Amino acid sequence: MKKAKPSTKIKNLTLLALMTALVVLTEIISANIKFGTFSITLTHIPIVIGASILGPWAGAWLGLSMGVVVLFEPATQGFLLVNFAATVFVVLLKSTLSGFVSGVIYKAIKNKTLSISVSALTCPIVNTAIFIIGSLVFFSPSLAAMAGPGKNVFMFLIVGIIGVNFIIEFLVAAVMIPVIKKVIDICKKMRSDKSYI
């Protein structure tokens, strides 16, 4: 692996700092966009952009940054009261892995239009899948109490808590693919252009 030039390292670090600020700001704004129980996150968009430009580890960092903000959101507080350690673990894991996997997918697929599409759509899938698994593993008794006697906890989780939110997040990611591609192209051009040093 070639070592990056100091100016490239500075550009990458600066871009990562800007993307981190954008992730934090987007998550704070997204926390106020609600459909049902949870907020609709738009934060996957800057995470996918950052992971695509800077790689999987930057995607993981951006996802982790999102997770830290999510821990302070009102919707998370109930989970923290039930099981603090499990909530912190699940929230940080789901957001970190969604960014990392997006970066891996972008890097692995040679056709960049396809890779952007798949990584943008994968980000909310990974995030939601880990949330579902974590909720079932750590919060089943609480979910069963919320669902009511004799109700299927998994179906309650999917239909009652996640359903609409996931569909909207997935559709936003799908609609934003051309925009994401354009931003990535511009950022890559800026990174390679000597006049931006």
> For the domain that residue 175 is a member of, what is the CATH number?
1.10.1760
Is residue 89 within 8 A of residue 95, CB to CB? The reply is no
Take residue 155 and report the two structure tokens written for it.
């179906």
Take residue 40 and report the two structure tokens written for it.
């609709």
Domain hosting 87: range is: 42-192
Name residue 39's beta-bridge partners. Answer: 34
Residue 47 lies in a domain: yes
Range 90-94 contact pairs with CB under 8 angstroms and sequence separation of 24 or more: 90/130, 90/131, 90/134, 90/135, 90/138, 91/67, 92/64, 92/67, 92/68, 93/67, 93/130, 93/134, 94/67, 94/126, 94/127, 94/128, 94/130, 94/131, 94/134
Report the chain's terminal Cα–Cα distance, integer Å. Answer: 23
- Burial profile 131-150: b = 16 or more Cβ within 10 angstroms, e = fewer: bbebbeebbeebbeebbeee
How many domains, in total, are found in the chain?
A: 1
Residue 84 lies in a domain: yes
Residue 174 lies in a domain: yes
Residue 7 lies in a domain: no
pLDDT tens for the chain, 197 residues long, are 456 566 778 888 988 999 999 999 999 998 887 766 667 788 988 999 899 889 999 999 999 999 999 999 988 898 999 999 999 999 999 999 999 999 999 999 998 888 888 998 899 999 989 999 999 999 988 888 887 888 888 888 887 777 777 888 888 888 887 787 788 788 777 767 655 44
Is residue 65 within 8 A of residue 194, CB to CB? The reply is no
N residues, the chain:
197
pTM of the model: 0.85
Residue 108 lies in a domain: yes
Residue 25 lies in a domain: no
